[in-house]
Chains A and B, each alone.
Chain A
């Protein structure tokens, strides 16, 4: 950028800083809060400088929440583990079901194909609260209430349509001739799918998987209604910080930091694959 003037560079710097502050401020503030006691947080005016404490993290990890009204047992770490289990299992199941389905929708025209694809997408339109009551009744009847399997299943409403529609677009962008060429070279259609279509749609599959992981991780209502304490993810578990003796802001902030970290790490890891695939000059030069 050597052709830009000094004023232009300064302006660009300021603009970037403002955007950064706008988006990062809440996250940075929560990070700061997680190292403060409730008293420090509720001080007016708030201060940037404070004596940091690890008490919030200690309380979360040990599961002992000390409040004015006495000690409370919280199962935050278990909730975190639940979140991880539920989200991963949901995404893996949705990928196993969704990627072949996306391929079918992208490559073959079949009767009611578009209708089925749209119906699957329409699960995303319905507000979860609308389906929750009938769903919980069914779940009670089927004995799926408060089971990991039951929650993973209901999470398919979130993950499957997302994966199906994103990955379908990626499959459609791959020239069918590449697969034809692979088959003419003597490979079965299954090999063409696993060795050509899936690797080439890899970035799309990674993006869809990451997005659905985040959506599953952040889901609140399904788990609130369909799971009991020992199966609840962090989103529901965070309710425990609203105690009889007040809201534990410090612990909430620390809980947020801990629960954001896995998704953040996953996103950073997946980023490489997202960018890599976009530069594959697939067909023509």
Chain B
């Protein structure tokens, strides 16, 4: 099988730049999620690989061979589209078989049956796309993308238009399905959970630039910038402006007037440099007794969210944080005075101007 390589790919549409020097390598059998907010250029990137757009600059290689000048039908690519893009005038069987027919493969019927069994759609093979449910449509589209055993698989937010239950089902099924084919797979999504569930690595794309490419837990624990930190995590990360002070091997910062101990002085932080301090809501500990060094706060509201309780906390200076915990661990009720703490190693520091993370906090488990 072949590896997919993007080399410094640039693409503009008029004044809008959709890809700026994007370089990425996907090994055969690897699933890389391209994750980013809408309009960040994810789909354009996929379409350049598929041959619908040509890159302005840079190169795209499959198995070391440039495919930039090849027409789509000669690129050896399978693709699943967000809107399914099934051929409405053909049965599901013909939809799936369309790729095999073009190459003149043998025993088409057997291959289609095997693939449809794998995707649990054998019973609807005779149906036209309009007679299929959204889930069946998506499975048909995936079967069509997978059946030709392509060297590169592109999945453009394939679970966007299916309902929540199916989405969870497919999140569990997809990784093994994709790995069977040992293709280099690029999976575009706007949902960080989906990216973390499916991908071996995640490429975070913001405004046409790859900001971070790393394993899912790495991105969650050590986001490269404030923007990445914000995109991963729900409820999203708490951010406060601080000016850390290094003193006698200790790093401290004031949040809402309370001195908080940060990590040991391993960070290359000069004192008085303004920073963003980020703490994930899951790492925030809320207690009713002040065991020293905690920030006083008031619980403004409590909302259940994804089997967790999310607390909206307001500090004395008016700034607000979120804390997330299991409902059993909830000590305080709404409108109560509480104390907020977090482990020093849970704190992430980002440069105030560039948004980039400062120093390397020690590794820890992803929540």
A 95-124 to B, binary, CB cutoff 8 A, 1 in contact else 0? 000000000000000000000000000000
Decide if B190 is an interface residue (CB 8 Å cutoff): no
Docked complex: B31-79 residues within 8 A CB-CB of A = 47, 50-52, 71-73, 75, 77-79
Interface segment out of the listed A127-135, A184-192, A230-238: A184-192
Question: Quick one: which of A175, A178, A180, A191 contacts B52, CB cutoff 8 A?
Answer: A180
Decide if B86 is an interface residue (CB 8 Å cutoff): yes
Decide if B102 is an interface residue (CB 8 Å cutoff): yes
Q: Which residues on A sit within 8 Å (CB–CB) of B134?
A: 284-285
With A186-B73, A186-B99, A281-B129 already in contact, the answer to whether A181 and B148 are too (CB < 8 A) is no
Question: How far, in whole Å, are A285 and B73 apart by their CA atoms in the complex?
Answer: 27
Question: How far, in whole Å, are A185 and B75 apart by their CA atoms in the complex?
Answer: 10
Question: How far, in whole Å, are A184 and B102 apart by their CA atoms in the complex?
Answer: 10
Question: How far, in whole Å, are A191 and B77 apart by their CA atoms in the complex?
Answer: 18
Minimum Cβ distance to chain A for residue B312 (Å):
37
Docked complex: B113-144 residues within 8 A CB-CB of A = 129-130, 132-134, 137, 141, 144
Contact A183 B87 (CB under 8 A): no
Minimum Cβ distance to chain A for residue B348 (Å):
40
Contact A186 B103 (CB under 8 A): yes
Contact B71 A284 (CB under 8 A): no
Query: In the complex, which of the residues A176, A180, A181 has the most CB atoms of chain B within 10 Å of its own CB atom?
Result: A181
Decide if A283 is an interface residue (CB 8 Å cutoff): yes
Contact A184 B89 (CB under 8 A): no
Docked complex: B122-171 residues within 8 A CB-CB of A = 129-130, 132-134, 137, 141, 144, 148, 161
Q: Which residue of A lies closest to B105 (CB)?
A: A186
Q: Which residues on A sit within 8 Å (CB–CB) of B51?
A: 183-184
Contact A186 B86 (CB under 8 A): no
Decide if B172 is an interface residue (CB 8 Å cutoff): no
Decide if A282 is an interface residue (CB 8 Å cutoff): yes
Decide if B88 is an interface residue (CB 8 Å cutoff): yes
Question: How far, in whole Å, are A183 and B141 apart by their CA atoms in the complex?
Answer: 14
Q: Which residues on A sit within 8 Å (CB–CB) of B129?
A: 281
Question: How far, in whole Å, are A177 and B156 apart by their CA atoms in the complex?
Answer: 11
Contact B83 A280 (CB under 8 A): no
Minimum Cβ distance to chain A for residue B153 (Å):
11
With A181-B79, A284-B161 already in contact, the answer to whether A186 and B88 are too (CB < 8 A) is no
With A185-B102, A185-B144 already in contact, the answer to whether A178 and B133 are too (CB < 8 A) is no
Contact A181 B81 (CB under 8 A): yes
Q: Which residues on B sit within 8 Å (CB–CB) of A191?
A: 102
Decide if B98 is an interface residue (CB 8 Å cutoff): yes
With A185-B98, A186-B99 already in contact, the answer to whether A180 and B88 are too (CB < 8 A) is no
Query: In the complex, which of the residues A184, A188, A281, A283 has the most CB atoms of chain B within 10 Å of its own CB atom?
Result: A184
Question: How far, in whole Å, are A187 and B88 apart by their CA atoms in the complex?
Answer: 17
B 94-120 to A, binary, CB cutoff 8 A, 1 in contact else 0? 000011001100000000000000000
Contact B103 A282 (CB under 8 A): no
With A200-B88, A200-B89 already in contact, the answer to whether A175 and B83 are too (CB < 8 A) is yes
> How many residues belonging to B are interface residues under a CB distance threshold of 8 Å?
33
Question: Quick one: which of A185, A189, A282 contacts B88, CB cutoff 8 A?
Answer: A282
Contact A186 B133 (CB under 8 A): no
Contact B72 A180 (CB under 8 A): yes
Decide if B232 is an interface residue (CB 8 Å cutoff): no
Question: How far, in whole Å, are A281 and B129 apart by their CA atoms in the complex?
Answer: 7
Question: Quick one: which of A175, A186, A279, A281 contacts B85, CB cutoff 8 A?
Answer: A175
With A186-B73, A281-B88 already in contact, the answer to whether A177 and B130 are too (CB < 8 A) is no
Minimum Cβ distance to chain B for residue A269 (Å):
20
Decide if B315 is an interface residue (CB 8 Å cutoff): no
Minimum Cβ distance to chain B for residue A67 (Å):
56
Contact A186 B87 (CB under 8 A): no
Decide if A148 is an interface residue (CB 8 Å cutoff): no
Q: Which residues on B sit within 8 Å (CB–CB) of A196?
A: 87
Q: Which residue of A lies closest to B137 (CB)?
A: A285
Question: How far, in whole Å, are A199 and B50 apart by their CA atoms in the complex?
Answer: 24
Minimum Cβ distance to chain B for residue A184 (Å):
5
Contact B87 A184 (CB under 8 A): no
Residues of A bordering B, CB below 8 Å: 175-178, 180-189, 191, 196, 199-200, 279-285
Give 16 pairs: A residue, B residue, CB < 8 Å, sorted on A.
A176-B52, A181-B85, A181-B87, A184-B77, A184-B79, A186-B99, A186-B102, A186-B103, A186-B148, A188-B71, A199-B89, A280-B88, A280-B130, A285-B130, A285-B133, A285-B134
6 residue pairs, one from A and one from B, having the closest CB atoms: A186-B102, A281-B130, A185-B99, A177-B85, A183-B72, A181-B85
